[in-house]
Amino acid sequence: MGELRDEEGNMLPCLEMTKAQYLPSLEKKKWRDDNKEIEVGEDIQKFFRQEKIDVKILLRDSDDQAKYELFQRINTGGTPLSDQEVRNCILIMVNRDAYFWIEDLARLESFKVCCPIPERLALERYDLELVLRFAILHNISVEDIIEVSDLSQFLTTEMRSRLAPDVADLLQIKNLFRRVFDVLNAACGDNALRKYDQGKGRFSGPFLISAFELVALGVAANIEHVEKKGKDWLEAKVKAIWSDQRADGIYGQGVSTARRLPRTLSLGREFFSEA
C-alpha cells in the first residue's frame, strides 16, 4: 500500500499487483498511483480496509524462543511454510548477516547451473536449504550423523549453533562453496548432480540430492586435489561414481536420509580423494 518504511526510514513504493485466478483485472494495478488507470480505485480500497487481519504483536526485546514458539503455532494454520522457510525466519533472529550470506551464495551462477531445481522447490527456498546443507555437512564428522533420524530438525539445530554470530567462519565457507561449484560447472555444467547412465553413455534425470551429497560434498572435502587434477579428470570421476560398487543401494526410492547420508558422505570424500 505504500505505507511501509525500509530500515533507513525511507518510504517504500506501492507494490505492483499480479492477477489472480478470480481477479485477473488486478494485473499491474497499484494501491495508489498518480495514474488513475493503474490505481485500484476507492471501492476496492474500501473493501480491503474493511477486511480483518489477525495480528500478533511481539516486543522487540521478547525472548527469541518465545518468538519462535509463537511463529510455529501460527504456522500450523493456513498453508504451512516449508522447513527452510521456517529456518529462514529463525536465522534472521539468530544471525541476520548469516541469512543474507546464504541468500548471496544461492545466487551464485555456477551453483544455479549445477542445481537446476524445479520451480516449486525454488519457491519454497530449497536452494537456500542446499546452501545450508553445504555449510553444515561439508566438514561434519560422519559419526555425528549416524544416529540422526530427522535431518530437518538436525539442520535447524545445527544452524542455530553453527551460524551463530562469531562462531562460523562465513568467508572461509563462502570461498569453498564458490570453488566447488565453479569447478563442477566447468567440468559438467548442469549434469554435475544428475545420474550418469553407463549403458546409454549420458547423464539423465533430474537433480538428485544424493548426487549433491556424493559429488558436491565429496569435491568440497578434496577441493585442492580436485582443482589440481583438472576438469577432464573431474568429469570422468563424476561419471564413474555412479557405477562404483560401493554406491550400490545408496540412492533411489525407499532409501531414507538416515540410511543414505552417512554412506554418501563417506563414499564421496573417499572417491574424490583417489587418483
pLDDT tens digits, one per residue of 109-166: 999 999 999 999 999 999 999 999 999 999 999 888 888 888 888 998 899 888 888 8
Q: What is the pLDDT of residue 116?
A: 94
- Cα–Cα distance, 119 to 26 (Å, whole number): 24
This prediction's pTM: 0.75
Percent helix / strand / coil, the chain, rounded to 5? 55, 5, 40
Residue 100 C-beta-side C-alpha neighbours within 13 Å: 3
* Distance linking the first and last C-alpha atoms of the chain: 60
Under 8 Å between Cβ of 227 and 180:
no
Nearest to 231 by CA among 192, 270, 178, 176: 192
Which comes out higher in pLDDT, residue 93 or 171?
171
Mean pLDDT taken over the chain: 88
Q: Is residue 58's pLDDT more than 90?
A: no
Under 8 Å between Cβ of 262 and 213:
no
Kindly indicate the confidence band of residue 21, based on its pLDDT and cuts at 50, 70 and 90. Answer: confident
Q: Is residue 104's pLDDT more than 90?
A: yes
Mean pLDDT value of segment 234-255: 83
> DSSP 3-state assignment of 169?
coil
Residue 165 sits at φ, ψ, to 5 deg, of -55, 140
